[in-house]
Amino acid sequence: MYPMLQRSIRVPVTRVITPLCRGLLKLGLTANAMSVIGAVGSIVSAIWFFGTGRYLAATFITLFFILFDLLDGTMARLSEAGGSTWGALLDSTLDRMSDAAVLCAIAYHLHAHSDRLLPVLFVAIVASNLVSYVKARAESLGVPCNVGFAERTERLIILLLSTGLTGLGVPYALAIGMWTLALASLFTVLQRMQVVQKSA
């Protein structure tokens, strides 16, 4: 049911952005260039805005650059060369860097204010990275592991929803979001490890 929901969302979104991607390719931009632009913009905006506690502005600006992720995959499929191994590795690596930048910038701001939420955020940072690591390690062992409750899209929704509400002044929004992110990421790690265990 859940994969069907993802596909039902992805198909109309792809139809909308495909003309834009074709236009960007005609301008000489590549999928890898879009990946780099999105990642650099996301990292810089996260450090500058989240690090200084401007959560609402940070949420919208970071979201804008994260949306580049929608473009690079479609551009790779539309290009003559198609998706490459290097492009896939670059995109995945930059995604991890962008996500880490957002969480670390929030951690920096919380540390400056001696916030009790900091340990939960550290758990969220480690668990989020483990979600990606377990999948990569499993697939390197020949075990398909594209499963889990909180994949990157879900983690970003939880994170940016909580920071956006925090920017609007909603009480405890960040705390609820960070706890949810940490627990959901840990649960996803366990789900993926269970897949590998069953395959063995």
Residues assigned a catalytic role: 95
Tokens at 1, concatenated:
């049911």
**84-108 as b/e, with b when 16 or more CB fall inside 10 Å?**
eeebeebbeebbbebbebbbbbbbe
Cα of 111 vs its chain's centroid, Å? 23
Q: How far is CA 49 from CA 59, 102, 144, 166, in A?
A: 9, 10, 37, 13
CA atoms of 97 and 99, how far apart (whole Å) = 6
- Who contacts 198 (Cβ-Cβ below 8 Å, separation ≥6)? none
What is the rounded CA–CA span in Å between residue 189 and residue 11?
27
